[in-house]
Amino acid sequence: MLEVINLNKKYGENVVINNLNLKVNRGEIYGLIGHNGAGKTTLINIISGLLDCDSGLVLINDRKVSQKAKYLLGVAPQENIIYEYLTCWQNLAFFGALYGIKGRYLTTSIRRCLQIVSLWEVRDKLARFLSGGMQKRLNIAIALIHNPLLLILDEPTTGLDVSSRYEIWQLILGLKQQGVTILLTTHFLDEAEKLCDCVGILKGGKIVKQGSIPQLKSLIPAKELIHIQTDDEDQLIALAKQMGIPYRYYQGDLFFLMEREWDIREIITLFRGINIRGITKKDISLEHVYLEIMGEGN
């Protein structure tokens, strides 16, 4: 559905996109994650046709990005593009008209989109009086008004409370079930892990790792992680090194990478002689993979 081939973009001497390659298959949710400044916004702007690349190619449904191909694409930017003094219905009518949608087809499209994002009951309410979560859903509805094959969601849950985030998650999963292909950017790694079929990690303007969640988790050489709290941390690390057990610091906490699952009694026996205050067993998550790839797990 979407293919980005050898894409490059510089601003002066600053390389923002560096020979980037990416492929999003039809019907999947592809998550794009990376630090601020990694190139996510520039990439989206190029895919959307808002910005020219220096070299490379972007294909949407095997077509080069063009005015015609743009109709295959819907974009819900991080900052809502809704008009606060228009109702939900009027917002969709306005943006639908921009796509040349008219008459009965426009009415049908508005109804369909409002029902998809669960805003039908508030269709005549001014957008300024909607909750933050509802405004995000209206923002997504606007991106869907012309029934695109590919939907770009740029950090769709930023600034929302937990309940509203989960509502957006369910909406995104529902869109996937309807056959919509989605490119999702997010800073929430749990969001990417929950929603995405494939995740690409963007660093220095290129995709440094990509794959399914199980494929990415396999990059961590362990079956589980053990966090041990102790005042004898140096002694604990020295003992682990003697036994060939690798360790990492994730978000400042010391974890040991275990090649198999251990029960608590085995761990206490393994590190006998160490004054242990607490033991926590953790499954490997996308967060650990991300920190490892970014070089922040040391």
In the predicted structure, residue 141 carries a pLDDT above the cut 60: yes
In this structure, is residue 219 part of a structural domain? no
Instruction: State mean pLDDT over 205-222.
Output: 91
Among 159, 161, 157, CA closest to 137: 157
Among 288, 289, 246, 243, CA closest to 266: 243
Instruction: State mean pLDDT over 116-136.
Output: 94
The CATH number assigned to the domain holding 127 equals: 3.40.50.300
Q: What is the pLDDT of residue 183?
A: 96
Q: Are residues 104 and 174 in the same domain?
A: yes
Tell me how far apart the alpha carbons of residues 67 and 83 are, in angstroms, rounded to a whole number.
24
In the predicted structure, residue 185 carries a pLDDT above the cut 90: yes
Q: Are residues 74 and 132 in the same domain?
A: yes
Instruction: State mean pLDDT over 31-35.
Output: 91
In the predicted structure, residue 236 carries a pLDDT above the cut 70: yes
Reduced to 3 states (helix: H, G, I; strand: E, B; else coil), residue 118 is coil
Tell me how far apart the alpha carbons of residues 201 and 176 are, in angstroms, rounded to a whole number.
21
In this structure, is residue 218 part of a structural domain? no
Domain endpoint, select from 212, 247, 280 = 212
At what angle are helices 162-177 and 132-144 packed, to 10 degrees? 20
The CATH number assigned to the domain holding 265 equals: 3.30.70
Q: What is the pLDDT of residue 108?
A: 95
Band (pLDDT 50/70/90 cuts) for residue 190 is: very high
Band (pLDDT 50/70/90 cuts) for residue 225 is: very high
Residue 9, both tokens: 């973009």
Phi, psi for 139 (deg, rounded to 5): -60, -40
Rama region for 4: left / alpha / beta (φ>0; ψ in -120 to 50; rest):
beta
Q: Which residue has the tokens 């396999």?
A: 218
Q: Are residues 190 and 242 in the same domain?
A: no
Q: What is the pLDDT of residue 278?
A: 87
Sign of CA dihedral 208, 78, 16, 250: negative
- The structure's pTM equals 0.88
- On the 0-12 / 13-18 / 19+ scale of CB atoms within 10 A, 240 is buried
Domain endpoint, select from 178, 212, 246 = 212
Band (pLDDT 50/70/90 cuts) for residue 68 is: low
Q: What is the pLDDT of residue 31?
A: 95
In this structure, is residue 289 part of a structural domain? yes
Quick one: how many helices (H) and strands (E) in the chain? Answer: 10, 14
- pLDDT, averaged across the chain: 90
Percent of the chain past pLDDT 70, that is, above it, reads 97
Residues in the chain, total: 298
Most confidently modeled range among 39-53, 67-81, 99-113, 252-266: 99-113
Distances (CA, A) of 172 to 33, 153, 157: 17, 9, 11
In the predicted structure, residue 254 carries a pLDDT above the cut 60: yes
Domain endpoint, select from 182, 212, 242 = 212
Band (pLDDT 50/70/90 cuts) for residue 170 is: very high
In the predicted structure, residue 297 carries a pLDDT above the cut 60: no
Q: Are residues 192 and 228 in the same domain?
A: no
Range of the domain at 183: 2-212
Instruction: State mean pLDDT over 68-94.
Output: 90
Evaluate whether 1 touches 69 at the Cβ level (below 8 Å). Answer: no
**pLDDT tens-digit series, residues 255-282:** 999 888 888 888 888 888 888 888 888 8
In this structure, is residue 298 part of a structural domain? no
Tell me how far apart the alpha carbons of residues 137 and 130 are, in angstroms, rounded to a whole number.
10
